[in-house]
Amino acid sequence: MGQDRPTSRPHTSGAAAAAPSLSHGALERQLAQAGTPERCCAELSKIFAVRPHEVALLRLQNGLLKFLFPGELATAGAIPISSSTAIAAHTAVTRKVELFNNFTTVKHASIFESIKPSGEKSENLHPAIIHKLMSAPVLDVEDKVLGVIQVCHKGFDLASAGPDFTLDDLQRLELAAKVLSHLGFMRESR
C-alpha cells in the first residue's frame, strides 16, 4: 500500500527529462505564462490533479523558507533552513526530491497543517491533514537553493487523501522545480 519510508534521490536533470506526458518545453511555457506564484501553483494543481491549497511554494530568504503560496501560509511564518523537523528544510539542505505516501508516520513539523485554507468549509472543525507528500528543491544553475516546491494529498484519513504519488509524479515535480528556477519571483529578495 503506502510507503512508510521516503523515496529520495539527488536532484538530477537527467531524471526529470524522463517525465511522461508533459515535456520540459510544454511545462516551461505553461508555468512561464502563469507569471505569478499563485498562477503557477494553480497550474501545478491541475497537472497533479490536486486542490490548489495542496501545492506549496517556498522561497529561501536569509536562511528562512518563506511561503509564496498558499497565501494563508505566507503570513503565518517561515521555516528556518536549520529546522530538524520540517520536510521543506530537509529538502533544501539535502537538495533531494522526496516522496512520502504515508506521511503521517513521518516525524515532521505540523504547525502549518493547522491553518485552514481559504475556501475550506467552516463546518469542518479540523483541517484535513497531509497524508501524502512530494517535495523538490528549486535550484539555480549553480545548484544553489532558491526554494522548495511541495505537492500533497490531504484528507481526514489515508483513504480520503486520494491515490498514492508515483515516481512519474516525482519526476514531473522535479521538472517543475527546474522550470520554476528560471522564473523571476523565485530570485527576488535573495
Question: Across the chain, what does the average pLDDT equal?
Answer: 82
Q: What is the Cα–Cα distance from 137 to 98, expressed in whole angstroms?
A: 9
* pLDDT-above-90 percentage for the chain: 53
What pLDDT shows up at residue 59?
Answer: 97
| Cell, residue 10 | 539527488
Contact 81, 93 (CB under 8 A): yes
CB 96 within 8 A of CB 9: yes
Bond preceding residue 52 cis, omega within 30 of 0: no
Residue 43 · residue 18 · CB < 8 Å: no
Low-confidence winner among 16-30, 55-69, 80-94 (lowest mean pLDDT): 16-30
pLDDT category at 112 given cuts 50, 70, 90 is low
Which domains can be identified in the chain, with CATH numbers? 7-186 (3.30.450.40)
Residue-wise DSSP of 86-139: -HHHHHHHHTEEEEESSGGGS----GGGGSPPTTS-TT-SS--EEEEEEEEEEE
Q: Is the pLDDT of residue 143 over 80?
A: yes
Structure confidence by residue, pLDDT tens digits, 51-67: 988 999 999 999 999 99
- Count CB neighbours of 58 within 10 A: 29
Per residue in 10-22, pLDDT (tens digit) is 444 333 333 346 6
The answer to whether the beta carbons of residues 67 and 56 sit under 8 Å apart is yes
Task: Provide the pLDDT for residue 95.
Answer: 97
> Closest by alpha carbon to 8, among 91, 98, 94?
98
* Residue with the larger pLDDT of the pair 173 and 1: 173
CA distance 48 to 136: 14
pLDDT of residue 158: 83
**Amino acid at position 131, single letter:** H
**Sequence-ordered list of residues with C-beta below 8 angstroms from that of 35, at least 6 positions apart, any chain:** 183
Residue 141: pLDDT band (50, 70, 90) is very high
Burial class (CB in 10 A: 0-12, 13-18, 19+), 54: buried
